[in-house]
Structure 1
Amino acid sequence: MSAAGLVGVALLGGVVGFVVPPLARRFTTPARLRRGAWLSPPVAAVVFVGLAVARGDDPALPVLLAVAAVGLVLAVVDLACLRLPDPLVAVAGTVALGGLTGAALLAGTPGRLLGALGGAAVAGASHVLLALLPRSRLGFGDVKLAAVLGLPLGWLGRDAVLAGLLLPHLLHGVLVLALLAARKIHRETLLPLGPALLTGTWLAVLIG
């Protein structure tokens, strides 16, 4: 992608960064939303530019950007109130499935759509099993989000799916250990997994 194109994507990300907090307020209270105050236009811009640099020649780039935009709202809400609202997850899933279907048809690569559906199935089934383990703290909101994120990962291929399955839990585990060591939390403290799922998926898309 050209430098001008990257600037345009960065500006688009910045606009998304401004819009995310008002959208997130629809699903939580303003007081709780302060916990998600880390989100800013520069963060959204970095997310968008990373996708553009890594996948600028992929016909599904607009879909990846749209899913990332919804994902930013989900991350803020989950940080604020430990919840991944079904309407937001459904929007992300609809955008991903509809967008990837269109991209596959326009590019004449229906096989990639089958890969996307396979990625969703693998990610969803894997997280169902994790949620059913004894003492698991994985919620079914996390399971549904993982299945949705499996769509773009499956579009990119097996390596992206594997990275997308491993990286979120690695990131979450490191964060938990760091917070425990700093005595910021205790063993029974509940932490949101949604941001880790989204960040891990973003990284998997960059390297997949």
Structure 2
Amino acid sequence: MAGVFGGAAAAFLPRIAHRFAYPEPVCRDCGRDFPSGVSGWVHAGAACGCGGWIGPVLASAAVAALLAGLLGPVLSLPALLLAAVLGVLLAVIDLRCLRLPDPLVGGLAVIAGVPLALIEPARIGTAVAAGVLVGTGYLLVALLPGGGLGLGDVKLGAVLGLVLGFGGWPAVAVGFAAAHLINGVVAGWLLARGRAHGGRALPFGPALLVGALISMTFIGYA
């Protein structure tokens, strides 16, 4: 059931991802204008009928099924399933244009953070401390010349630190260690194939999100 929910919700992601990734209200592939109003954003299937859509659906269905299968019927599961769909949307956008839009990152904080705070009020202090620690550390790295992080990465890191903080410091440590390991492997693979170089920025958002997923599912999460 969780997998079906994830896949069905993700069917609406391609057009939303396209609209957030590119400012022009037209399809980058065929030049067709998107409709005005709500229908210009809410549409099941490909962004405009000329592109693919199966990737986000399969990814979201797999993530939702993994969360439900490994966490079980915990109180936080509905919020985490919604956050998973939003995480897939953020990953798709970051892979396309190296951007993590503030409204979506903020939405992730609300969708996941508020329910977790209500379920686990005793862990709010740890969660806030983790978010501040990660956000501050990433901001210092982003301000360094050649630091390799954008402000979107900083904000997403802070939000994921907050969310993982409800699972305790081990969850925070594993989640971000996994993210950097994944990003390092991807960067090394691209360098080995001659598809990356020192001046080319790589999207870090997907690695952050996968690292958080690994931590939530395999370390334990209430």
| TM, length-normalised to structure 2 | 0.80
User: Quick check: 1:154 aligned with 2:165?
Assistant: yes
Task: Tell me if structure 1 keeps the 8 A contact 2:59–2:88.
Answer: no
Corresponding residue for residue 42 of structure 2: none
Per-residue deviation, residues 11-63 of structure 1 (Å, max 9, x unmatched)? 00111221111221221234388999673322111101111122224321122
Give 1:147 deviation, angstroms.
Answer: 0.7
Give 1:185 deviation, angstroms.
Answer: 2.2
Corresponding residue for residue 125 of structure 1: 136
Structure 2 CA distance for partners of 1:115 and 1:53, relative to 1, 3 Å: farther
Higher helix share: 1
AA aligned to 2:187 is V
Corresponding residue for residue 178 of structure 1: 189
AA aligned to 2:116 is L
Unaligned residue ranges in structure 1 (runs of 5+): 1-7, 105-109
User: Quick check: 1:111 aligned with 2:122?
Assistant: yes
Corresponding residue for residue 13 of structure 2: 20
Corresponding residue for residue 43 of structure 2: none
Structure 2 CA distance for partners of 1:36 and 1:123, relative to 1, 3 Å: farther
Structure 2 CA distance for partners of 1:20 and 1:118, relative to 1, 3 Å: same
Residue 12 of structure 2 aligns to a residue in which SS?
Answer: helix
Tell me the percent identity.
39
Cα separation, 2, equivalents of 1:132 and 1:196? 20
Cα separation, 2, equivalents of 1:23 and 1:52? 25
Number of aligned positions between the proteins: 196
AA aligned to 1:171 is I
Cα separation, 1, equivalents of 2:52 and 2:198? 22
Give 1:176 deviation, angstroms.
Answer: 0.6
Across the aligned residues of Structure 1 and Structure 2, the Cα RMSD in angstroms comes to 2.2
Task: Tell me if structure 1 keeps the 8 A contact 2:117–2:123.
Answer: no
Give 1:171 deviation, angstroms.
Answer: 0.6
Corresponding residue for residue 81 of structure 1: 97
Cα separation, 2, equivalents of 1:122 and 1:37? 37
Relative to structure 2, which stretch is displaced further, 47-56 or 174-183? 47-56
Alignment counterpart, residue 71 of structure 2, candidates 52, 55, 76: 55
| TM, length-normalised to structure 1 | 0.85
User: Quick check: 1:164 aligned with 2:175?
Assistant: yes
Corresponding residue for residue 214 of structure 2: 203
Unaligned residue ranges in structure 2 (runs of 5+): 30-46
Corresponding residue for residue 31 of structure 1: 28
Task: Tell me if structure 1 keeps the 8 A contact 2:21–2:99.
Answer: no
Relative to structure 2, which stretch is displaced further, 145-154 or 184-193? 184-193
Corresponding residue for residue 3 of structure 2: 10
Corresponding residue for residue 40 of structure 1: 56
